[in-house]
Amino acid sequence: MVKGVVDKSNIIGIIHARGGSRRIPLKNIKHLNGVPLIGYIIKAALGSKLLDRVIVSSDHPEIIRLSKEFGAEVPFVRPADLAEDVPSELVTQHAVEFIEAETRERVDIAVTMQSTSPFCSSEDIDTCIRKLTDNPEIESVFTAKKVCERPEWMFKLDKDKAVLFLGGEMKGERGVTQSLPDLYIPNGAVYATRRNVLFEKNILISDMVSIHEMSAERSIDIDEPIDFLVAEVVGEQNEQG
């Protein structure tokens, strides 16, 4: 295959959007600058040049209604046992199995997305897919942001004593940011995973993995009420820019 050209793999986008949320009730449809949160990731997914279908996995009727209104498919209602706090790979596996039973066609790549990442773009999604299809040795690709809070500087409490989580002492080059390697953490927006890895290893991120870096601003993940306030400011600046 020519590098940069995607073959006719069956690539399915699956957006996770359950109704339950402990910190922000129904956050998936809470309005962010006048738009339901889930509308942002659906728009990005529908703008992808490489996704064959965009499907929302949800258990909540209003999320389902709005998802369809924004143009996504909702071919099933997520089972109650998968609408609790369960590993994301189980939700994606369920969606893939449903699609394959419905179409009698094998899914080659499952692209898991979250509605809590409003600044993820179509290009971010397609970059993850291309990195996977261009590199046969890679099993999964995820979006990430560069770490600011250094694990080398983190402490844990052992009774009343604070000790470095990674051990050792806080001295020398360890205290110089420029001397430390760049580290990255998943930002929760996109996980592109080959089907065999998803089911044989029961995982979204395998050990043969690559990343697509997104900026800290675009990596905002809506989890706490303050995240909405920050996202509103960033969104307003994006509109003005």
Reported as half-sphere exposure (CB side, CA atoms, 13 A), residue 137 has a value of 0
Classify strands 184-194 and 161-164 as parallel, antiparallel or unpaired.
unpaired
Tokens of 234: 């960033």
**Of these residues, 18, 65, 150, 174, which one is catalytic?**
174
Helices marked H in 165-224 — which ranges? 195-200
Beta strands in 93-216 (DSSP E): 109-114, 140-146, 155-158, 161-164, 184-194, 209-213
Per-residue burial over 155-187, b = 16 or more CB atoms within 10 Å of its CB, e = otherwise: eeeeeeeeeeeeeeeeeeeeeeeeeeeeeeebb
* Angle between helical axes of 122-134 and 37-46 (0-180°, round to 10): 50
Q: Is 18 a catalytic residue?
A: no
- Give me the amino acid identity at 2: V
The whole-angstrom separation of Cα 237 and Cα 6 is: 34
CA dihedral 89, 90, 96, 97 (to 10 degrees): 150
What residues contact 176, with CB distance under 8 A and at least 6 apart?
none
The catalytic residue positions are: 174
